[in-house]
Amino acid sequence: MARRTFSRAELESFRDVAVPDLLPNRPGQRLRLLFVGINPGLWTAATGTHFAHPGNRFYPALLAGGVITTPIDPADGMDDAQRDLLRERGIGITNIVHRATAKASELDAEELRAGGAALTALVERERPGVVAVAGITAYRTAFGRRTATPGRQPEPLGGSELWVVPNPSGLNAHETVASLARAYAEVGSAAGLL
């Protein structure tokens, strides 16, 4: 089956659209690991699926790191069974800022700080074991931690262990699937998934 494609105009029509959080939705499902993106891209908004752009390395890195055990290709959007695979594993996904943009650089510091406050409230309510923010620059801005470095953070977020991991976007040329897999395996291990 051919992969879905979008014209630039189609993608632009999803600007500022929010993508719902992927969180446990059944009794007994425990949120062990909450991944936090910066904000949805236009492809993500068009498919309604986090980290969906075909160039994004999030799901391949999760698989290579052992955080998930079944391949997921979300470029056309995820079905309920794929979302349930993540939920049953104890994995959730949200964003610092919920509105879709073509690039994260379109967000301003005020929007990131407001998103950081909203994320803290979400974490306090959902109580994940581990929170993994994907993107050091956005984390520094959202939480006023100018000197933060990647890895486990010295202070928790809303009572949860906090990590900053590399952004899996294809625009982040410093990372590979292998290097992302190592970072994601660390947080998966901290969350008890490995």
Q: Where residue 47 sits, what CATH number does that domain have?
A: 3.40.470.10
Cα gap 17→173, rounded to integer Å: 26
Give 101-151 pLDDT, tens digit per residue. Answer: 999 999 999 999 999 999 999 999 999 999 999 999 999 999 999 999 999
Residue 1 belongs to a domain: no
Q: Tokens representing 182?
A: 């190592």
Residue 3 belongs to a domain: no
Residue 36 belongs to a domain: yes
How many domains does the chain fold into? 1
pTM attached to this predicted model: 0.94
Residue 107 belongs to a domain: yes
The domain in which residue 169 lies consists of 8-190
What sign does the dihedral 90-91-96-99 (CA atoms) show?
Answer: negative
